[in-house]
Amino acid sequence: MINEVPMLTNVTNEAASCMQVIKHPDKSEWKSLLARPTFDTSSLNDTVSRILTDIRQEGDAAVLRYGEMFDKAVLKELRVTLPEINEAANLLSEDLKEAIHVAAKNIEKFHVSQKFETKKIETTPGVICWQKAVGIEKVGLYIPGGSAPLFSTVLMLAIPAKIAGCKEIILCTPPDKDGNINPAILYAAKMAGATSIFKVGGVQAIGAMAYGTATVPKVYKIFGPGNQYVMAAKQLVSLRDVAIDMPAGPSEVQVIADETANAAFIAADLLSQAEHGADSQVILTTTSEKVIEQVLSEIQVQLALLPRKEIAEKALKHSKAILLKNNEDIIELTNEYAPEHLIIETADYIQLAQQVVNAGSVFLGNYTPESAGDYASGTNHTLPTNGYAKAYSGVNLDSFIKKITFQEISREGIQNLGKTIEVMAENELLYAHKNAVTLRLK
């Protein structure tokens, strides 16, 4: 049975209350234990569908109307002008601009290393096959700009899109009530290679990029995170109008720790995800009760100092510290949970990491915070959540590429392979397929 305890030895009631502490849960209860937080979204799809329908039918007029309704911005023009983009550099500190440059360089270096190399393969004498990687011509990037303007996401999406050779990189992000875009977003967008930027947020941004309007071009694939309305919109338009990067939801992290870990580091890692939103989830897994005690105490110390304390507290209410018997159970539970972010802070982290098969991005050792991947180490921070890491990769260079196959068969090749094709086609009762080969053999 799951043994929920409100307090461990030497942990205050206040500290223990920030996360559920669960000792040695039975495997039959893991599924319910690892359930992500759910919220009432009964009216969400109806609202999203209505907005999308209006945008499909009315175009820019609907986009402007919903922008005024949701972002409180009265706009005359959706496109960000070149003077606005150029002015952004003057509004940022030199430290921030330097940080963006360093992060961009690392992201570029890591994603360039993923370039596909074409190889021609002779599968049968006279039969040559190969693939060519081609950038998706038109991609749309959605960048949230509400409580936290995610200029880092601009780098994570626009840089690989440019490396892939995407011809049009369309970026949509919500304006503030005065109709302005966060200057860090504009600065990053210019540096990373966005070709057009629009003052459009929320569902209306997804609809505009999916259907196209007089101002916003229609794209072939949409990327980027967002709230539950944005996620619902992406999934709805992906049914027939446009491709999307992946299903996604609230942010999450799991930490695997032993007694060699630093409790303050662990607490900071957990809080870094908890502050994303009230629907975020953080999980601590360990074989040590002492680690749980220390981490819970550290969480309270650090939580009190956070500007986003109230948001983090809400996330912690449906987060858990799980005590397990051994590392084998921890790895099994981890692969079942399939976390978006996985941090392994143990003495044998390399050995444990080799056993991980379901995770979005893995951070190894005491000095590798999840924040590094969010910003500047070079890896991509757009990752599968809600267990989708069992089947999806995070965004990478291939996300912006399609691969076209080619084949060339010589006279010798069709002689060598023709009989095989004829037999297979005939047994599938597809005689025109067989005849296409037979004629050539004659």
Q: Retrieve residue 243's tokens.
A: 């491709």
The catalytic residues are 340-341
What single-letter amino acid sits at 288?
S
Distance CA 245, CA 161 (A): 12
The residues with which 257 forms a beta bridge, in sequence order, are 286, 345
Order of strands, sheet of 281-286, starting from the edge strand that comes earlier in the sequence: 3-5, 20-23, 320-323, 281-286, 252-257, 341-345, 361-364
326 labelled ligand-binding: no
DSSP 257: E
10 labelled ligand-binding: no
Q: Which three-class secondary structure state does DSSP give residue 404?
A: strand
101 labelled ligand-binding: no
Length, in residues, of the chain: 442
227 labelled ligand-binding: yes
Q: What are phi and psi of 422, to 5 degrees?
A: -60, -45
Residue whose pair of structure tokens reads 């397929």 in the numeric block: 433
Q: Retrieve residue 362's tokens.
A: 């893995």
Distance CA 336, CA 338 (A): 6
The residues with which 131 forms a beta bridge, in sequence order, are 405
The DSSP string of 25-86 is --GGGHHHHTPPP----TTHHHHHHHHHHHHHHHTHHHHHHHHHHHH----S--BPPHHHHH
Q: Which three-class secondary structure state does DSSP give residue 329?
A: helix
Asked whether the beta carbons of 155 and 103 are under 8 A apart, the reply is yes
251 labelled ligand-binding: yes
Residue whose pair of structure tokens reads 């060699």 in the numeric block: 260
Distance CA 318, CA 38 (A): 10
Backbone CA torsion sign across 96, 102, 107, 112:
positive
Q: What are phi and psi of 281, to 5 degrees?
A: -140, 140
Cβ within 8 Å of residue 429, ≥6 positions away: none
Q: What's the start-to-end Cα distance of the chain, in Å?
A: 73
204 labelled ligand-binding: yes
Binding residue numbers for NAD(+): 142, 204, 227
**Where is the binding site, in residues?**
142, 204, 227, 251, 273, 276, 341, 374, 428, 433
Binding-site residues for substrate sit at: 251, 273, 276, 341, 374, 428, 433
Q: Which residues are annotated as a binding site for Zn(2+)?
A: 273, 276, 374, 433
